[in-house]
Amino acid sequence: MSKQDLIDAVAAKCDMPKDKAKDAVDAMLGKIVEAMKAETDVRIPDFGTFKVTKRKAREGRNPATGKTIQIPASNVPKFSPAKKLKDALNA
């Protein structure tokens, strides 16, 4: 499902114009990103939790040359599905 498919589905389900549905989807995704930038967990009941984890700096290898390189520390987004979502997928 693409973002446009999601916008179309919201517009149809909520009986609203697609431009309003696009604004709603963009607002929701923007708020999730803002919260994650602030390292705040985003919990959506019955769906799951978006959170940020820290990845330590580490050594890696350049596959083309085989030389060792340093990979810097970074923040990584994670999603943990809720039990209800898991159950829905396995029903």
Give CA separation, 2 vs 6, 8, 26, 37, 45, in Å. 6, 10, 13, 23, 22
Kindly state the helix (H) or strand (E) to which residue 83 belongs, with its residue range. helix 83-89
The rounded mean pLDDT for the chain is 95
The pLDDT score that the predictor gives to residue 34 is 96
- What pLDDT digit, counting tens, does each position of 29-54 carry? 999 999 999 999 999 999 999 999 99
